[in-house]
Structure 1
């Protein structure tokens, strides 16, 4: 069984490279939008940026801050007062009441990004899988099917994120910025667990899409366009256009 041939279509390569450039930016922003959607669900006011997001302040934190701001002088004073006592009682109650809620909110806000990425990838995979017989019969992809291919490739984030963070997730460190090790820690799993599982799932999806769904005569053009398009998209969005459009 052949996995690749030297058949190359310059026109197809050009169109697919442009699509990869666009999808690199779209995939990055939509991933962060997934975090924002979860934060919005919990009543926060998140901020979306080109490659990261600010989740916004939780309601309990706003309540505590406003209470402190209202009676700041009396709270800071060494002299006892009803206002000072009320503030510390409020802080104690919030600490007890919202301790678990804070963990829940943090988990799902963190999970929102990978969830959006994986659901998008599964949508594309499902479309291709349902149309696989038609694809195999005609040996080329329609516009809808190419669209599904690029949706499927949202899974690439899970694969490459894990591969390029292996040195960190197996280093024994306790604090991480990446979503996957933080989710693993929230679930009381080793830091590498969530990333490894989603990497394996993503790898299986991408392998099927690349070497099964994409016809043999279009495969080399697709792979080369992916390498070049993603490189240009990554540099162009993260280093140039992204900071200007969504600083």
Structure 2
């Protein structure tokens, strides 16, 4: 009788308290987040539900508080982009039914939230690769919204520019902090310089007569290569082989993006 009781107690503990390093917390939180995105979107974002969604996202992210500060801006931008993209802000996305692409958006943002929670709570073995995927996704969403808004009068030009500056500065600074460069000398100056360089690249890309999705892809490519190159320099990992490989990849991807772009007048 006692053995049966101990078995039931141990079994209950296993299913209610996942083992250390388990992916259950990230999966559960991502599922809740994705369902919340879907429900709020299907109801056309009424302000009480939108406010409730924000509170829910904050609870999911900040519980527990450990490492919440390190990824705060990634979380903040992901939350903002979730609203802007699902509300079709400045982006004309055709609907084929009442549910699609709502489900696709919910799955996509749930997957990104899964990466975010997994990195924050140190659940992944390969956290660096997971963070790079999350970093690229957030970069692309930010640039996608910027170039899409350039085709409309959704916001004043100076306001869009200031938002872009804030986005680049904070996401690049967080990139270096996640990669253990927070104590690097002149980090703020380095981040500010990279922000200016990427602003120049974005300005040059905006002159090309290509659609906003291709422009966002090019901006993401150059933003990632510039930050990764400086990171490797700080960590003394910058080699001639990496530079040759980066040049080959960037030129190839640049050609592919332009080749498959829809050129606009």
Please, what TM-score do these two structures have when normalized by structure 1?
A: 0.29
Query: Which one has a bigger Cα radius of gyration?
Result: 1
TM-score by length of 2: 0.28
